[in-house]
Amino acid sequence: MALASFALVSAACGSSASSAPTGSSSAPKDITVGTLYAGTGPFADQSLPEYNGLKFWVSHENAKGGVYVAAYKKRIPVKLIAYNDQSSPATAATLYDQLITQNKVNIFVADFGSVLTAPAATIAQEHHVLLFDQSGTGTNFFTPNNPYIVLADLPTSGLWPKPLVSFLVQKKISKVALVYGSNDFDGSQDTTIVNGLKAAGITPVYNQAVPTTTSAYGTTISAIAATHPQAVIELGYANNDIAFLSNLQSSGTHFNMVFTVFPGQLQQLLEKNVGEAGMAYTYTYAAPPLVSYNSVNFGMGTTAFEAAFQKQYPGPVNAPEVYGYHTGLTIQLALNHASSLAQLSLRSALMAQSGKVTTLEGLFKLNSQGAQVGELLPVAQLMPTQGNTNTSVQIVYPATQATTKAVYPAP
């Protein structure tokens, strides 16, 4: 099988990727960053923009002469080595191993999402290499006995639904139906919602796992409708959301509230595939750049990033593009403060900066297991715009961040 690869190198450097020996007095010619991207398959729509965000960070730093590396007190060009895993965890496992054992990269970065991060987490721990986990937010990656992982973007997915649960309770919505993908990303969200509702004395009227590959939800929608829910929550990846919302629209079934995960991250993709009518008045998580942070002390704020990024990648900026850039910022933060390129030195540097740094994703804060805990995702609703040609994502909860009031029940 041919493997597509990409290397982004400043004009001044042409060396092969190698790790500088710990304690070496001579600086390496470049800092090698190894990652994967899904050029095809079900994760491509999420992986490729995230990859573009990381490439943008590399080019941005190389335009300054490279990233500042405290261990050598100088800027060193960044070389990006990337392979196409084609959305396959098995292919990803082989390529992750290649990055470590053959390319010997200084910085090891996972592909998008929990499914494609899982093999990287295992391989990183086996080789004692720090994994910069971009958006694999599944809670099972973070354990007390594994110091070889840090979550660069977003909190763990078990934290994502906390504002959503509070919103449901505040609205006195007691009949909640859930369907979720059978993976840790979606399963951990479901667990948080179920436990949060039970703490408020609410038991879901429907709660069912489906395969992550599910592309038809007609039977599930019929089963949910039979329970007469006040709110329906579908937890999946972008392809799942598209299939669920499309099937719901074609079925003619109407629910007072429908929540899906990815419209707040990939609005244009969802609108293109579902249409305004299928998106109108549905709910989602509001992720950066929908949540804007311009008072930052590290990297570019939201407005500055969007302006700079669009010069290189024209069009509306989406959440995965922010994640990729923020992964670069996390790498930069580690290199700016680590005393060496040793893997645990990089992690220690990040832990020391935890809670002190505000970026375009909010407060950068890690727990002792390397998981992000400083960011929460508000609840948003997709409101029709004038002319009904598209939708506008508006934050409706919590009140301190709200841009409008929720429309419930949905028309």
The pLDDT tens digits of the residues spanning 244-277 come to: 999 999 999 999 999 999 999 999 999 999 999 9
Q: Does residue 130 lie in a domain region? A: yes
Q: Does residue 124 lie in a domain region? A: yes
Q: Does residue 382 lie in a domain region? A: yes
Alpha-carbon dihedral of residues 208, 209, 214, 217, nearest 10 degrees? 10
Give pLDDT, residue 389: 63
The pLDDT tens digits for 124-183 are: 999 999 999 999 998 899 999 999 999 999 899 999 999 999 999 999 999 999 999 999
Q: Does residue 337 lie in a domain region? A: yes
Q: Does residue 370 lie in a domain region? A: no
The pLDDT tens digits for 192-249 are: 999 999 999 999 999 999 999 999 999 999 999 999 999 999 999 999 999 999 999 9
Give pLDDT, residue 198: 97
Closest CA to 149 of 127, 169, 170: 127
Q: Mark whether 351 and 223 lie in a shared domain.
A: no
Q: Does residue 373 lie in a domain region? A: no
pLDDT band at residue 13 using 50, 70 and 90 as cut-offs: very low
Q: What's phi and psi for 101, nearest 5 deg?
A: -85, -30
Identify which has the larger pLDDT, 38 or 391.
38
User: Considering the entire predicted model, what is its pTM?
Assistant: 0.88
Q: How far is residue 338 from each of residues 100, 156, 293, 346, 363, measured CA to CA in Å?
A: 20, 25, 26, 5, 20
Q: Mark whether 270 and 335 lie in a shared domain.
A: no
Q: Mark whether 58 and 150 lie in a shared domain.
A: yes
User: What DSSP state is assigned to residue 77?
Assistant: -
Q: Mark whether 179 and 267 lie in a shared domain.
A: yes
Residue range of the domain that includes 263? 162-286+378-397
| % of the chain at pLDDT higher than 90 | 89
Q: Mark whether 136 and 41 lie in a shared domain.
A: yes
d(CA 183, CA 158): 12
Give pLDDT, residue 250: 97
Q: Mark whether 92 and 214 lie in a shared domain.
A: no
Q: Does residue 6 carry a pLDDT above 50?
A: no
Tokens of 265: 């991250």
Q: Mark whether 221 and 137 lie in a shared domain.
A: no
Q: Mark whether 120 and 135 lie in a shared domain.
A: yes
Closest CA to 319 of 292, 298, 290: 290
Number of domains in the chain: 2
Q: Does residue 195 lie in a domain region? A: yes
Give pLDDT, residue 145: 93
What's the CATH number where 197 sits?
3.40.50.2300
Closest CA to 268 of 216, 221, 314: 314
| % of the chain at pLDDT higher than 70 | 93
